Every structure is written in C-alpha cells, then in structure tokens.
Amino acid sequence: MDDVLLNDLVAAALKAGADAAEAVGAERRALSITVRLGELEEVEREESRDLGLRVFVGRRQASVSGSDVSPDARAKLVERVVAMARLAPEDPYAGLADPQMLARGPLPDLDLYDPTEPTPEHLEADARTAEDAARATPGVVNSDGASASWSSTQWRLVTSGGFSGLHRASGFSISASAIAGDGQVMESGSDWRSVRWRSDLPAAEAIGAEAGRRAANRLGARKIASTTAPVIFENRLAASLLGPLIGAISGPSIARGTSFLKDKLDKPVFAPGVTVSDDPHRKRGLGSAPFDDEGVANRPRNLIDKGVLTTWLLNSAAGRQLGLPSTGHASRGLAGPPGVSPANLTMQPGTADRAALMRDAGAGLLITSMFGPSLNGNTGDWSVGCSGFWFEGGEPAYPVNEITVAGNLIDIYARLVPGADLEFRGGANAPSLLVDALAIAGL
C-alpha cells in the first residue's frame, strides 16, 4: 500500500485531535486449489486491500480497520477512531514505541519474496499429483483431498513517531490427506509443507506418498494399559511443547502474574544442553520480518541458553508495565493493540537421531499425533490426547491410539532431551524430544 496514503492518514488523525497515531496497510493476493478423489473440489481466489488505524489521545487508545480506502471512507475512519479514543479508559502503558528502539537504516534483506505466480493449472496439477501419490500407497482406500496454494502479501507500517517500513512476503504450500483401511477400521494420515519460495517445496509426489504412508502405518492400532514410560515426541509436532513456554514468558502473562515461569528469569528451566532460539532474520523463514509490528528493531536471540531462561517476550506496553525495554516481539493485526509473539522459534538439535533416542529409552511411546491439549497456566500442569507407536529396542513395534500423556511442564522441560532430526516446517520447529518418564493414560 502506498506510503503517501498511510502518512496522510496519520496526519489526518493528528489534525483531528490525536496526540499520536499509527497506520497499517495490508495487501494480499492468494489462490488455492483443492482436489478430492481425482475431481476438482474447490478454487479460492483472494484479493484484498485493508487499512488499520490506531490513535492515542493522552493515555487513551482506540483502533479501527476497513477495506474501503477511498478519501471519504478514510475521513470517516479517522473521525470514528478519534472519537472512540476520547471515550476509552486510560491505559498508563499505552503509546507508540520508544523512538530510540525503532528500526533505522537499511533493513535486512530476508529473501522472503518470490515473484513467481503459479497459474491455477499449475496448482491443480500439484494437488492432483499429491493426491494420486497418496491414493497409490498400499492400504490407502480413500482420500480427504489434496491442495496447493500460493499467496503474496505486503504489510506497511507508518507512525507519527517517524517510522515507515515495508514487509513483503510470498508463500507456497502443498498438502495431502489420505485414509487407509483394512476392512474393519480406517485411519488417516497427512503431510504438508509451506515455504516462502516455490523452489524450496518438496515434490508434490513425495508429500502425497508420505501422507499415504502415515495413514497405512496407523492400521492395526491398539489400546494400551495405563503406565509410566519414556515418551518421544516426533519432530513434526515436538514444537507444540514450546507453545506453553511462549505463553509463560510473554510480558502480559508475567505482568498479570499468571505464568508458571514467573519466578524463573535467569534460572535453569531446561536441561543444561538445551537452547531455544528465536531468529526473526532467518533467510526465507516463515516467521521472518525485518522489524516487529510496532516498528521496533528485532534481532536473533536465545530465549533459553544452555537451559537458562534469558528473557521475557515484550512489546512496548508490556515492557513499560515491567520497567523493561521492548524485546522486538510485538505482533498485531489491522485492529487492536499489539500482542506478543516470537518469529522463528527453534529448539536446537542434539546429537542422537530418533532411533538412538528409542534405543536409549528402551521401550516407550512415540507420539506422532496430538489433540486437545490442556494447560494450567499458573502451575504448568499439562496433558494432551495422542496416538502414535509403542517402541521397543529402538524400533516401532505397533501403532497405539486413544491415549493421554500428562505431566508438569517445569518437570518435563528439565528432563527433556532433543534429538538430531530438526526440520524447518513452520514458524516453530524442534527435533524429536525424549522425556524419560511420563504418565500415560490408556485402558
């Protein structure tokens, strides 16, 4: 979106009585093709252009958004949001980012934008190839479909504090879901991949074949008796264990005192060999950005450094509340004040591959699917429904389902052992993770 238009919007807000303002412009184009059982099922095309405006009147703030960018619509947007701010309750921590914290000078080139725009025919061909490969897998009897998509986004932020920045990115993805059956039961399996550059996508055939393999391998799943045993979280879902960590070290949670890690800053949380990094400047990263959503300069940092918790995740408001500077983790949409979010979260790998983790553990549970997690944010008590494989002697023995694992995350984090099989599949990534003993609820 045009820099001039956003600067005019900020100027109009100041003229209407705002003490400070920030405007966001977002443009998105996207195309998605879905096929199922060899037939074209869905075609979705999106083209959007939206505005967001946040203003401050003293310590009162309000925000609005809209998709009409005409001069009359912008004038009404400004009038409405300033009137809303005058009626809003005071927030002693509200305000734009500290000017000294803003990203200045040449912004890093993160290689996030691939100008390639695939045709609908190319996307349909990728989806068909993925589904055909899934359906060709022995044991697969049906399909939940396959899809291929492309997107191009542009996000620009302008503030009355003197910041103006543009963030542009592309996205390409392929996914497939297969259903396997043996005449008595049916099991599903899926695979997917999302990347910034089309050339980084795995072959559609490989994605479909993996979806089919995962479905077929689930056949013959058993229920197991409740026990306590070693548990390994497969790498493609292991980063789910980091979600509660992020919530627990976010500035708003710390300020409210509702975090099970509120007393752990600069103290060991994980085992000494564990490092969790956040890198907003990773080339082609799905969470990468040259600045945070308040315009604050961001940088790579270790959130967990050799087991020790090093920082809270802070936007400007949370930082003010805690008497600390922003860490460059502000995250926002078009409307509303910023929240807090990491960029590219990564647990660094260990030295043992998954088979070695299983050999070291002896016998236990390999989790390949999780659903319905439950967390007590104050205590860290955590449980999740799951399915996977019982393993023995370093090898999966048979599939299992309808089980729940549970424990306290403070205890789990302290005993967690990373494997060596780190793959970058999303904005949060981890290798397979071994916990030497967890309560497993089954029959």
> What's the CA angle centered on 88, arms 86 and 89, to 5 degrees?
125
- Give the pLDDT confidence of 26-77 residue by residue, as tens digits: 999 999 999 999 999 999 999 999 999 999 999 999 999 999 999 999 999 9
pLDDT at 442: 86
pLDDT at 410: 97
DSSP state of 376: -
pLDDT-derived band at 216, boundaries 50, 70, 90:
very high
Report the DSSP beta bridge partners of residue 146. 35, 176
From residue 32, give the alpha-carbon distance in Å to each of 90, 128, 427: 44, 13, 21
Residue 336 in this model has a pLDDT that exceeds 90: no
Stretch 317-346: mean pLDDT, rounded? Answer: 95
How buried is residue 205: exposed, middle or buried, by Cβ count under 10 Å (0-12/13-18/19+)? middle
SS3 content of the chain, % helix, strand, coil (to 5): 25, 40, 35
- Structure-token pair, residue 393: 């002697």
Domain ranges within the chain, ordered by starting residue: 3-216, 221-443
Architecture of domain 3-216 in CATH? 2-Layer Sandwich (3.30)
pLDDT at 393: 84
From residue 224, give the alpha-carbon distance in Å to each of 195, 362, 441: 38, 17, 8
* DSSP of 198-255: GGGSPPHHHHHHHHHHHHHTTTT-B----EEEEEEE-HHHHGGGGHHHHHHHBHHHHH
> Would you tell me how many other CB atoms lie within 10 Å of the CB of residue 350?
22
Residue 232 in this model has a pLDDT that exceeds 70: yes
In 58-127, beta strands by DSSP E: 60-66
pLDDT-derived band at 1, boundaries 50, 70, 90:
low
pLDDT at 3: 85
Rg (the chain; Cα; Å): 24
Residue 443 in this model has a pLDDT that exceeds 80: no
Asked whether 36 and 75 are in contact (CB, 8 A), the reply is no
Closest CA to 321 of 51, 41, 95, 119: 95
How buried is residue 321: exposed, middle or buried, by Cβ count under 10 Å (0-12/13-18/19+)? middle
- Give the pLDDT confidence of 89-139 residue by residue, as tens digits: 999 999 999 999 999 988 999 999 999 999 999 999 999 999 999 999 999
Determine phi and psi for 18, rounding to 5 degrees: -75, 145
Closest CA to 27 of 152, 194, 172: 152
> What's the CA angle centered on 222, arms 216 and 225, to 5 degrees?
150
Q: How many residues are listed for the chain in this entry? A: 443
- Return the SS3 of 406: strand
pLDDT-derived band at 335, boundaries 50, 70, 90:
confident
- Give the pLDDT confidence of 362-373 residue by residue, as tens digits: 999 999 999 999
Residue 348 in this model has a pLDDT that exceeds 80: yes
- pTM of this structure: 0.93
